[in-house]
Amino acid sequence: MLVTGATGYIGGRLVPRLLEAGHRVKVLVRSPEKIAGVPWFDDVEVVRSSLDDAAALEEALKGVEVLYYLVHSMAAGSGFEAKEKSMAELVANAAAAAGVQRIVYLGGLHPRNTRLSTHMRSREAVGEVFLSGPVDAIVFQAGVVIGSGSASFEMIRHLSETLPVMPAPSWVRNRIEAIAVRDVLHYLVGAAALTEPLNRSFDVGSRDVLSYAGMMKEYAAEAGLPLRLVLALPIPAPRLAGLWVALVTPIPLSMSVPLVQSLQHDAVSAEHDIDAYIPVPDGGLTGYRTAVALALGKERDAQVETTWANAGADADPLPSDPEWAGHKVYVDERTFSSDVDPGHVWTVIEGIGGRNGWYSLPLAWSVRGWLDKLSGGAGLLRGRRHPHRLVAGEVVDWWRVERIDRGRLLRLRAEMRAPGRAWLELSVEPDGTGSRYRQRAIFFPKGLSGRLYWLGVLPFHSLIFPAMSRNITAAARKIAAAELSGQEPGTESAAKEPDAKETQATP
């Protein structure tokens, strides 16, 4: 079988479960480098291609019985719906030409005979393309997906934790049937084992129906927070609500608006026909409160497999030569030599960001993060998937891991709003009996505004970056001392730097 969207939130979790079920799996990705660090990489056949290349797609589908179509863009703009529909038609025809027996698609749960938002309408149209196409299709229609790292879960979590009293649009009263990500995966894996011809859609959910306000209150109760008061106002205002969600959660505006728009109507299963084909999981479907508890537990135990933030973005390559092709480049470089073992310095480097902080002037980082959020950027709220380990393609606050040579080099590409492209490189190498830490901030300005931007941030760099290099080394020394004293290395108590003005919690 072939999985598209393997770099996404659902696809990245589906692949290992298909392998566990004994299936041979291909994945089709534009950039195989993005999944090079996942545990199942060597167990699948990786095809480098895109869904708009009909010939390459047909070749990739040869010998495939089941095609999983787990692709849906959060982009918008003119022609968005037509492009999504056209791509689905191309995939359906390529699947027929290659002899594929079934297409499995994950769409959205929505009411019938109702005017839908652009994104929900597009997802419905893609499902209709497959159902009316030449290959049998199973179209699952799921509502809010609750799991560690899912966009819907992060939205509920941050709204609940940030706002003890929340004035909200009237749609918070709408009835929502969420579904745990483990149950979504149960149905997706189960679809591969069905032998009879089948061409239809299925509503899937937890059978646990709450209002959106109720979901936030239940989250607060499970997380041990005081009771949240949600005030439903008689104003739909999806665009304004999307902006508010973007400001107080890690979800960017480009995603928060379609997420909010999908909540404008009740989203409850109209039928449970799937039970006749795929039995419910052992122990039954996962209720909403249990799904929240499982997600919080995964985050607490650093076992988050995939996150919404790590899905679907390709990195622009950074030339190894800063003066590449005559491009104007600004570089701020710092080095710091110490008697600390390089391995301990690397522990701090790989654990940077998220709750572990950036080791210099937390207020300055926070202000820059909020400015980025206000301008529609990522901000600092995205955090990181695992507190101590990184792989290429993952998110770290407003950065994305472009390259990691474990034990030596971490290169982060900025996804904040700026008039140019920016990277941050952190590296360590042995230096006699100690280590030499190196830090480079690299900026490719765009036009005059980019040059002025660099001049404007230079004073802040002169404060932030020297302190950052000192404090990273100091945190590494704390870890080394903790190991000598028998304390578990890498803990927050072992790595805290005493100067609270310059540091944050360390790994």
pLDDT digits (tens, 9 = 90+) for 256-287: 777 887 788 889 999 999 999 999 999 999 99
Task: Tell me the Ramachandran region of residue 79: left when phi exceeds 0, alpha when psi lies from -120 to 50, beta otherwise.
Answer: left
DSSP category for residue 44: S
pLDDT band at 322 (very low <50, low <70, confident <90, very high): very low
| pTM metric for this prediction | 0.74
Considering the chain, what percentage of its residues have pLDDT values greater than 70? 90
Query: What are the beta bridge partners of residue 404?
Result: 410
Tens digits of per-residue pLDDT, 292-314?
Answer: 999 999 988 878 888 877 765 44
Q: With beta carbons less than 8 A apart as the criterion, state whether 106 and 10 touch.
A: yes
Give the per-residue pLDDT at 258.
79
Give the per-residue pLDDT at 453.
87
pLDDT for residue 73 is more than 90: no
Can you tell me the mean pLDDT for 371-389?
82
Please state the length of the chain.
507
Q: With beta carbons less than 8 A apart as the criterion, state whether 418 and 409 touch.
A: no
Residue 467 tokens read as: 């302190």
pLDDT band at 347 (very low <50, low <70, confident <90, very high): very high
Give the per-residue pLDDT at 312.
56
Give the per-residue pLDDT at 182.
97
Strands 66-69 and 2-4, how do they pair?
A: parallel
H helix and E strand count, the chain: 14, 19
Distance CA 263, CA 261 (A): 5
Give the per-residue pLDDT at 236.
64
Q: With beta carbons less than 8 A apart as the criterion, state whether 103 and 1 touch.
A: no
Which range in 127-131, 316-320, 326-330 is most confidently predicted, on average pLDDT? 127-131
Asked which of 69-78, 135-144, 255-264 is least confident by mean pLDDT, the reply is 69-78
- Dihedral of CA 416/380/394/459: which sign? positive
| One-letter amino acid for residue 237 of the chain | A
Give the per-residue pLDDT at 177.
95
Distance CA 449, CA 301 (A): 44
3-state secondary structure 270-334: CCCHHHHCCCCCCCCCCCHHHHHHHHHHHHHCCCCCCCHHHCCCCCCCCCCCCCHHHCCCEEEEE
Which range in 28-32, 382-386, 437-441, 446-450 is most confidently predicted, on average pLDDT? 437-441
C-alpha count within 13 angstroms, C-beta hemisphere, residue 471: 26
pLDDT band at 188 (very low <50, low <70, confident <90, very high): very high
pLDDT for residue 61 is more than 60: yes
Tens digits of per-residue pLDDT, 388-445?
Answer: 889 888 889 889 898 899 999 999 999 888 888 899 999 999 998 999 999 999 988 8
Q: With beta carbons less than 8 A apart as the criterion, state whether 94 and 134 touch.
A: no
Q: What is the number of other CB atoms lying within 10 angstroms of the CB of residue 245?
A: 21
pLDDT for residue 76 is more than 70: no
Can you tell me the mean pLDDT for 111-137?
89
Q: With beta carbons less than 8 A apart as the criterion, state whether 246 and 189 touch.
A: no
For tokens 């079920």, name the residue.
Answer: 21
Angle between helices 288-300 and 212-222 (to 10 degrees): 50
Can you tell me the mean pLDDT for 49-66?
90
Distance CA 250, CA 241 (A): 14
Which range in 142-146, 356-360, 491-495 is most confidently predicted, on average pLDDT? 142-146
Give the per-residue pLDDT at 494.
38
Tens digits of per-residue pLDDT, 382-402?
Answer: 888 888 889 888 889 889 898
Distance CA 266, CA 178 (A): 11
pLDDT band at 78 (very low <50, low <70, confident <90, very high): low
Residue 438, class by beta-carbon neighbours within 10 Å (0-12 exposed, 13-18 middle, 19+ buried)? middle
Enclosing H/E stretch for 484: helix 447-484
3-state secondary structure 419-469: CEEEEEEEEEEEECCEEEEEEEEEEEECHHHHHHHHHHHHHHHHHHHHHHH
Query: What are the beta bridge partners of residue 140?
Result: 106, 202
Give the per-residue pLDDT at 77.
53
Q: With beta carbons less than 8 A apart as the criterion, state whether 423 and 412 touch.
A: yes
pLDDT for residue 240 is more than 70: yes
Residue 25 tokens read as: 């799996």
Enclosing H/E stretch for 370: helix 362-374
pLDDT for residue 218 is more than 50: yes
